[in-house]
A and B are shown apart, each in its own frame.
Chain A
């Protein structure tokens, strides 16, 4: 197992270098000069421009700049934001818990609804529930996030006034945030109503972000279940006289989980991409919103460092998923 993990970590090295290169290149390919953007409408003199150019190192050849960036990264230094002057690393970890909290909730939402939906659809193959669930999943999958979010906001925040429209918690609450996770911190603060407020802020973004993974998981669960339900060991389970709930929910689902775990792992990438949009819509102070703002400001260190850290997070999730396979299906552990 340890050898396997080390082997996998080694394969990360080329991916890692590739990602540094892409994140470094991506923001520089965009038109727009960060110095001009920073100066704003007032503009600036040629001398001042040259001074800043030298300060940021833009006057040197691009490969030198990349080399400097890469050596910095390898030493754990992602540089400082042009705008706030704070280390990218610090900003990322100040904001990451918000994104993580939202993503985890969205994933839990997607799995808790997607798995049963897929199982029910497979068991009722071709009948009403199957059709209803699968067409709903298709709609959910093809719905533009933006439009879906607006629809929910109009109904639940506008008409019904059930949920707030933006932020993580009502402004009247103030407490220390040692973990950065609002649900945990609000509970620990002991202030009455804080936790409920945090939950109400979380509901809509969770639904919006979780919808596409939910649809993907439901469809994958259904097809994996259909395959498994035809297997001999399902007939054995039925010959034991077990209830269909136990057969479908334990004997079949456990075997169907492998492909489902795969799509869950792949959804994490989609989820982080979706988080950028969702956070922007709901003014959620996470890394998605931070990245978007930084792109508009042409804040090179933040964009390249942020992309890199997100990529590393996705790689870690994928490694975890690979190791889960063996836990779920012992047959895979051997290989």
Chain B
């Protein structure tokens, strides 16, 4: 049985100009110890779907789903108190901006020990020992001294390590990392990704890695779910996806990778993800798709079978004799 199982998850925001579907009928499974990457451009609903799982969306969000099960517990019908016992404990999340994600008024030591006291009920000395252990585990030098530092006294990379230490403090079964490296410079990015993969190997936790960087996916992920405009449009193991993408959007994302490019200028995907007001009637990607025809513009495609990565496309690529022309 999978660790996390989401079926038909939708999130609609009520805005001043009507409801807006940020996440649309998404299915997702994560196994124990697995690294799943969720990729897609900005605005494709990656963060919102995971925030919905964590219960961190504002009250303007209306979350519906057929099923959200985590570690055998039904998160759809759980009450707030029950959710608080899971969130931050077995189910943890780290965010994009390490500098603003930590509270400026408290030392990082205080912030990490808070979780240890709250969920594990450790006493003072045990908390201190465990905090130092965690800082060592995430590669923070001189942990004893760093515990009494404030977030603004440390670099972005160090702060992200603190965030990671904090999120794994209670040995979660699943860690969701929402673009953990976007705000950091390139050398630090690689370190943080290595750290996350290493922690997964040590602890056996599942890892959901949200990113819009296909390069990151190639290096770390085992399975990839591609999201576009709130929908999951394709899901495959990383190896297969990089070899034979089925959706034209995935193919376009892969073409935009520097190492795959044959031309001097990187190919880009023209246009942007449709927002609230410019949703096409047919396939959501059709306005930007080179292969789209009249059918694509009028009829939304349904997900294909498992063998085609549940691709949402009328003309999937690399589909044997049905290759689009």
Alpha-carbon separation in the docked complex, A243 to B119 (Å): 12
Residue on B nearest A231 in the bound complex, by CB? B100
- B residues 136-157 near A (Cβ < 8 Å) are 150, 152
How big is chain A's contact interface, by range? Answer: 20 to 34
The smallest C-beta distance from B109 to any residue of chain A, in angstroms, reads 13
Alpha-carbon separation in the docked complex, A241 to B115 (Å): 8
The digit string for B112-123, where 1 denotes a CB below 8 A from any CB of A, is 001100110000
B104 near A255: Cβ-Cβ < 8 Å? yes
- Check if A19 is an interface residue, CB within 8 A of chain B: no
A254 near B84: Cβ-Cβ < 8 Å? no
Residues of B with C-beta under 8 A to A231:
100
B101 near A235: Cβ-Cβ < 8 Å? yes
Point out the residue from B87, B93, B152 that lies within 8 Å of A331, measured CB to CB.
B152
Alpha-carbon separation in the docked complex, A211 to B152 (Å): 38
How big is chain B's contact interface, by range? Answer: 20 to 34
Residues of B with C-beta under 8 A to A46:
none
- Check if B211 is an interface residue, CB within 8 A of chain A: no
- Check if B295 is an interface residue, CB within 8 A of chain A: no
Alpha-carbon separation in the docked complex, A232 to B97 (Å): 8
- Check if A66 is an interface residue, CB within 8 A of chain B: no
Given A240-B114, A240-B118, do A235 and B56 touch, yes or no (CB 8 Å)? Answer: yes
A243 near B84: Cβ-Cβ < 8 Å? yes
Given A241-B88, A241-B119, do A236 and B102 touch, yes or no (CB 8 Å)? Answer: yes
B84 near A242: Cβ-Cβ < 8 Å? yes
- A residues 188-244 near B (Cβ < 8 Å) are 231-233, 235-243
B100 near A233: Cβ-Cβ < 8 Å? yes
B56 near A239: Cβ-Cβ < 8 Å? yes
Residues of B with C-beta under 8 A to A329:
104-105
Residues of A with C-beta under 8 A to B89:
241
B101 near A254: Cβ-Cβ < 8 Å? no
Most interface-central of A235, A255, A334 (chain B CB within 10 A): A235
Alpha-carbon separation in the docked complex, A209 to B163 (Å): 46
The smallest C-beta distance from B218 to any residue of chain A, in angstroms, reads 28
- Check if B228 is an interface residue, CB within 8 A of chain A: no
- Check if B30 is an interface residue, CB within 8 A of chain A: no
- Check if A251 is an interface residue, CB within 8 A of chain B: yes
- Check if A330 is an interface residue, CB within 8 A of chain B: yes
The smallest C-beta distance from B14 to any residue of chain A, in angstroms, reads 14
- Check if A105 is an interface residue, CB within 8 A of chain B: no
- Check if A328 is an interface residue, CB within 8 A of chain B: yes
B92 near A239: Cβ-Cβ < 8 Å? yes
A237 near B93: Cβ-Cβ < 8 Å? no
The digit string for B157-187, where 1 denotes a CB below 8 A from any CB of A, is 0000001001100000000000000000000
- Check if B65 is an interface residue, CB within 8 A of chain A: no
A236 near B118: Cβ-Cβ < 8 Å? no
- A residues 319-333 near B (Cβ < 8 Å) are 328-331
A241 near B102: Cβ-Cβ < 8 Å? no
A239 near B88: Cβ-Cβ < 8 Å? yes
Residue on A nearest B100 in the bound complex, by CB? A232
B105 near A255: Cβ-Cβ < 8 Å? yes
Residues of A with C-beta under 8 A to B97:
232
The smallest C-beta distance from A232 to any residue of chain B, in angstroms, reads 4
B88 near A242: Cβ-Cβ < 8 Å? yes
The smallest C-beta distance from A133 to any residue of chain B, in angstroms, reads 19
Alpha-carbon separation in the docked complex, A331 to B92 (Å): 27
B118 near A242: Cβ-Cβ < 8 Å? yes
Alpha-carbon separation in the docked complex, A225 to B86 (Å): 27
Alpha-carbon separation in the docked complex, A201 to B114 (Å): 44
The smallest C-beta distance from A127 to any residue of chain B, in angstroms, reads 10
Closest 8 CB pairs of A and B: A241-B88, A240-B88, A232-B100, A241-B87, A233-B103, A241-B84, A254-B105, A232-B101
- List, sorted by A's number, 18 A–B pairs whose CB atoms are closer than 8 Å: A232-B97, A232-B101, A233-B100, A233-B103, A233-B104, A235-B56, A236-B95, A236-B101, A240-B88, A241-B87, A241-B89, A242-B84, A251-B106, A254-B105, A254-B106, A330-B104, A330-B150, A331-B150
Using CB atoms and an 8 Å cutoff, list the residues of chain A in contact with chain B: 231-233, 235-243, 251, 254-255, 328-331, 334
A232-B97, A240-B114 known, 6 other contacts, Cβ within 8 Å: A231-B100, A236-B102, A236-B163, A255-B104, A329-B104, A331-B152
